[in-house]
Amino acid sequence: MKLIEEQLSLLEMPPSQQSKVRVVAKWQRPPAGWSMVNTDGSLNCRTGEAGSGYVIRNDLAEFVEAGCRKHGYVDDPLLRELLACRDGLEAAVRPGFPKLIIQTDCTSVVDMWTEEKEPRFLGAHIIKEMKLLCNSFQEVKLLHIGREENKAAHCCAREALSVVSSIRFDVTPRFLTEVIQSECNLCPV
């Protein structure tokens, strides 16, 4: 028996070579009383055109609205993400939610948002515009999430590249149905 254990131990890979378990994060619904807008920017590498997409859901994980918007030529990835956040925030004003969580997969946007001093870069005016829009809410949080948690907004941003200017959906569009259903099936009640 000891010989078998020794041979098995020789077959074990050292910890540095063992495959690591990767936990994939999934979209989670907002806390009670909050609504959530997920946002993402996109780029058509062939034409240089940018797009933005957002999906708004309530605290029951119910679909409220989605939108896609083409922005023309925007070569800066940070500007594309900022435009997406602004578009989602602007759309969330319409339903009149008291508390809103904005989620983006761009850490730079979150960093600029939380910076105390006046931002000085090409997209500073977008941050200012977003902060003005926040006056329409009792409370707003802007949070970073991983790409796996942002699939629905990513689909909308990709769809934006095929629209003429912008489009808003009050019901789940066909291209989003599967993603929204799979995310909501994962949400704890």
- Return the H-helix or E-strand segment holding 166: strand 166-169
> Is 118 domain-assigned?
yes
Mean pLDDT, rounded, of the chain: 85
**Hey, which residues does 51 pair with through a beta bridge?**
42, 70
pLDDT of residue 140: 96
Q: Is the pTM of this model over 0.85?
A: no
| CATH number where 103 lies | 3.30.420.10
Residue at token pair 């790409």:
147
Tell me phi and psi for residue 30, to 5 degrees.
-75, 160
Total structural domains within the chain:
1
> Is 11 domain-assigned?
no
CB within 8 Å of 146: residues ≥ 6 apart: 25, 105
> Is 133 domain-assigned?
yes
In this structure, the dihedral spanned by the alpha carbons of residues 146, 147, 151 and 153, taken in order and rounded to 10 degrees, is 80
> Is 94 domain-assigned?
yes
> Is 155 domain-assigned?
yes
Range of the domain at 107: 27-184
pLDDT tens digits, residue range 11-44? 454 444 444 545 557 889 999 999 999 999 999 9
pLDDT tens digits, residue range 161-184? 998 899 999 999 999 999 988 887
Mapped onto helix, strand or coil, the DSSP state of residue 162 is: coil
> Is 22 domain-assigned?
no
> Is 43 domain-assigned?
yes
> Is 14 domain-assigned?
no
Q: What is the C-alpha to C-alpha distance for residues 186 and 25, in angstroms, rounded to an integer?
A: 11
